[in-house]
Structure 1
Amino acid sequence: MKIQIHDFGPIHHFECDLAKDLHLIVGENNVGKSYGITVVYLLLKALVESRDILGSAEFLHGRAMQLPEEIFDRVSALNVGDEADVGDIFREEIVRLLKDTFLKRFRDYIGETYGPIDHVTNKFSGESPRIRLAFGSEEIDIGVAEVGKVLEVKGLTIGSSIALRCVAENRPTDYEADNIVVYHDGRDYEHFKAAFIIACVHFFGNMLKDALGGIRDIHYLPALRSAAYQVLSASRGFRAALSGSRALPNADDKNKREDEWLLPDGELFKNPTVKIQDQLINTFESQIESLDISTPLNDYFRELSEIKPDKNSQGNDPIHRIAKDIERDILGGNVQFDGETQQMFYTPRGTDLRLDVDGASSMVSELSPLVVFLRYIVAGPRATTRTGLPDMRKGDSSPKTLVFMEEPEAHLHPVNQARLMSAFAALIFAADVKIFLTSHSNYLFTKLNNLILAEEIDVDVVEAHVFKWSKAGSKALPLAVDRLGIDDENFIDLAEALYEEKIDLIERMNADVR
């Protein structure tokens, strides 16, 4: 799928091709790189979740009940052997499916992350956000409605047609190439409604599958990963301290009757202290949940908090091997995850220390969440599509995990930045992982070019963009990629400027000596 993003926040134009396995985004600060990958993540999250609900009987029944009466009028006018084109009603139902599943979720995630849509209108061009998704013969255009100022489906192009054919006896729906034929005997309207909706949902499910292009699941590792982990640690510490506190009066206190009076009427409490503490804990947790946290960061918190280590977490899967390589070659020690306390610990090689990653070096605290994600989440049980619907398309490749990561080089020495890029190459080549990166690292960029030269990364799976500023907002300019690597239109100018500055300073110094 190709995604085009226009006039979203500071971005005037950004386009990416999700068929690629490695996406690298570079550019100066504050030009919209994080906006770009966040919108892509939210789009994919909404698509994945929409795909996974289509097979439920409740969902299908609800869709059948909402069919317009017009389609029944067309059916009743048919004689045996007659056929009617209902492509317009079919298209309207696909639009409704988009609105009720994908678009509803995408609106919510944009609202949670950025607020009202006015907050992400491009203030430089003055234009409202527009997004286009193109895959196969289908295209979906999303824009802002004039009334209500919410995101809506502005256009839909589909390559399939659908027809109703009246027959003497009902038969299963035919899916012939791009044409769908729904059969009806002129009597059993309940059967017809079910068949028509299943045909629509079948097509819609394949649309989503084509859009996702073999992506099984997605994960987002934000910038400042260690700081985000510290928020979780602090919340766990508060809860533990509050649960074990003896500062509040206990049930044997002489003021017990007064404490009971402060609690809700009509309830008898054997231990009001526990009840008070539980109320405080629940209040604290509800406040944490209601914090204004972006959807990607909230997903990051949730996935960390839901990790449940098992005996297979150190298996021979390629991802586990790569995680061990990162521990050995970069971290210089092992990262463990405690399933009971939900904490990460680091043991330096050759010692028996067990340090909370909060108390380790900035490199360890920043990189440990990546190791934990790879070991316990990315290598976890494979999510599966639960539609249970027939698939018209064959020849699917194995599904892949897509990991978004902002500035993976943070707190790493250049030597370790290069080693980390090698680990990313291994994830792509050996573990069916797709990677979407933003970076300010010339070393990571140069190592990637060397990996392409060494043919350790296939040039055909790499896509790179540099975000540059314009009067209408930032534009993501594609960087040429060939067997020699990626054209450098980001770092080289500064390198040359610094070199020329140094030569000029040396010449001045020599002139002063003379």
Structure 2
Amino acid sequence: MKLRVENFGPISYADVEIKPLTVLIGKNNAGKSMLAQLIFTLMTLTEGYIPRRFLTSMLQHIRTTEDFIAPYLRQVDDLRKKIKEAREITHLSCVKMVVDMIIEYLTQYLNKTLGDFLERYFAMELKSLVNLYSDYTRVECAYSKYSIAEFTITKDGNLSAKFDIKMMDELIDNILKDEETNKLINRVIRSRGGRDFTSTIAAIEKIAEFIFPKRPLLSTLYIPAGRAGLLEGYEAVSSALIALASTAPLKGISVPPIPGMAYEFYSLLLQLTGRKGPFEKMSDLFKEVIEGEIVFEELKLPKSKMVYRFKFKDKESSVDLIHAASMVKELSPIYLVLRELVDKGYLLIIEEPESHLHPAAQVKLMEIFAQLVNEGLEILITTHSDILLRKLAHLVMEGLTGGRANANLKPEDVAVYLLKPDEKGYVTREVNILEEMPTFDEVIEQLYEEERNLCYLSLQREMNEASPRNF
């Protein structure tokens, strides 16, 4: 994914490309989290487009709505009618019909649902997303070499969006060269819009795969900052929601809205059931960092109860996860999501993974991220830690010099973006961490200068007090 952003919150301009490991750095309120949340929103918006993925039990997932499916099925029906009514149908004209259908459908879908997605995940009105110094927000998202989505939000909160295809001739030429796709198109043409609904769906799916990168359904996960506090509040929040669910409307009680990413975090916790996923062995690397293990309790308790405990290393004793140390509570959601929910091709977005971590643990954490990336997981982090960045640079250097095969990184797999202030907010600048190391040296220099001045004043005072008085 490549993303170009203008006048979005505190960001006056951003131009980023999502790599296997992407890092966003900058001062507080520079827009790192907003940019990460925007990436999450745009990824979840279209990751389930491929038709067959909707014909599963995942239809009931919270992110999936009938607004996505019903219009799509109508589009398929319209396509079959067009094919039936066409005087002459060729492979080329059939592919063009399908591509035009996808463009029309996604443009309608974006205009109908994008606003709701943005308001839900950012927990604010659309007009509040516009930069204070501008009358509009503009976002351009290239999902692949060919597909691009654009939207604009005005100061009044009006949103307009469109989906388009770049290099249409090249795209269609590549589609027509694919043997499997041609076989499916043959079936569609032979049926002339008849009852071969399955072939029509399959042909659309194959053509869509040339437009969108093939990703697993619901494969973008977001772990926000403040995990320890959210984890501590999980039982209280979930218990309250469950208790109020049936009676609140009758009693006229309105439940306050939960911020979008907190809601997403709680939905992740609800998916944790103690099962082990494809990254189980990789997630075991976290045991060294947290100096223990997170164990699942088989208890017959309501879903509102956090049924995980922290077991101390080399000891039989354990405590409820919400009563563990802050470092454990910050890392355990990352650990559990990696152990149970992720798979190759997923994008995991983590805000400030270094929170409450000792510098040595931060170094180990970056090594784990590198190994996860090498196993096929995509990771995006926001951070204030120059320790993480320095270790990242070392891992890239090891990749160039043939260091540890499982932990080093290729330079082309890493992108670091610094949000720097300008006259209207913040702009992104890509940083080559092999040539320049973003650190907090300027802060250290300020402290050193302040310390030197204080020492000088203290020495001067002592000298004045020691000098003989003049009478």
Establish whether TM, by shorter chain, passes 0.5.
Answer: yes
CA contact (8 A) 2:135 2:154 kept: no
* Greater helix proportion: 2
TM-score scaled by structure 2? 0.77
Q: Which of 257, 263, 273 matches 1:292? A: 257
RMSD over aligned Cα atoms: 4.0
Counterpart of 2:285 in 1: which secondary structure? helix
Q: Which of 450, 461, 477 matches 2:394? A: 450
For 2:308, give the aligned amino acid. M
Cα separation, 2, equivalents of 1:188 and 1:295 = 46
Q: Which residue of 2 aligns with 1:257?
A: none
Q: Which residue of 2 aligns with 1:493?
A: 442
Report the Cα offset of residue 42 of structure 1.
Answer: 0.9
- The C-alpha deviation readout for 1:291-334, integer Å capped at 9, x for no partner, is 42344332221121122224x57xxx6x334433322x322222
CA contact (8 A) 1:51 1:209 kept: no
Distance 1:421 1:70, change over 3 A: closer
Report the Cα offset of residue 420 of structure 1.
Answer: 1.6
Q: Which residue of 2 aligns with 1:420?
A: 365
CA contact (8 A) 1:140 1:153 kept: yes
Q: Which residue of 2 aligns with 1:331?
A: 290
Q: Which residue of 2 aligns with 1:175?
A: 176
Q: How many residues align?
A: 430
Q: How does 1:456-467 map to 2 (within 5 A)?
A: 456-467=408-419
- The C-alpha deviation readout for 1:215-273, integer Å capped at 9, x for no partner, is 98121111011221222211455689x7xxxxxxxxxxxxxxxxxxxxxxxxxxxxxxx
- The C-alpha deviation readout for 1:353-396, integer Å capped at 9, x for no partner, is 32112222211222222222222222xxx5xxxxxxxxxxxxxx
Q: Which residue of 1 aligns with 2:5?
A: 5
Q: How does 1:34-433 map to 2 (within 5 A)?
A: 34-51=33-50, 56=55, 61-67=73-79, 75-76=86-87, 78=88, 92-101=100-109, 104-114=112-122, 115-133=124-142, 135-144=144-153, 149-153=158-162, 155-160=164-169, 175-176=176-177, 188-190=192-194, 199-209=203-213, 217-235=219-237, 282-283=246-247, 291-310=256-275, 312=276, 319-327=279-287, 329-338=288-297, 340=299, 341-378=305-342, 399-429=344-374, 431-433=375-377
Q: Which residue of 2 aligns with 1:255?
A: none
Cα separation, 1, equivalents of 2:328 and 2:280 = 18
CA contact (8 A) 2:136 2:152 kept: no
Distance 1:84 1:361, change over 3 A: closer
- The C-alpha deviation readout for 1:386-419, integer Å capped at 9, x for no partner, is xxxxxxxxxxxxx422211111111112222222
Cα separation, 2, equivalents of 1:145 and 1:239 = 35
Distance 1:285 1:457, change over 3 A: farther
Counterpart of 1:66 in 2: which secondary structure? helix
Identity of aligned residues (%): 19
For 1:292, give the aligned amino acid. P
Report the Cα offset of residue 188 of structure 1.
Answer: 4.3
CA contact (8 A) 1:109 1:295 kept: no
CA contact (8 A) 1:85 1:162 kept: no
CA contact (8 A) 2:135 2:155 kept: no
Report the Cα offset of residue 8 of structure 1.
Answer: 1.6
For 1:159, give the aligned amino acid. M
Give the unaligned 5+ runs of structure 2.
57-68, 300-304, 400-407, 464-471
TM-score scaled by structure 1? 0.71
Q: Is 1:469 matched up with 2:418?
A: no
Distance 1:41 1:87, change over 3 A: same
Report the Cα offset of residue 137 of structure 1.
Answer: 3.4
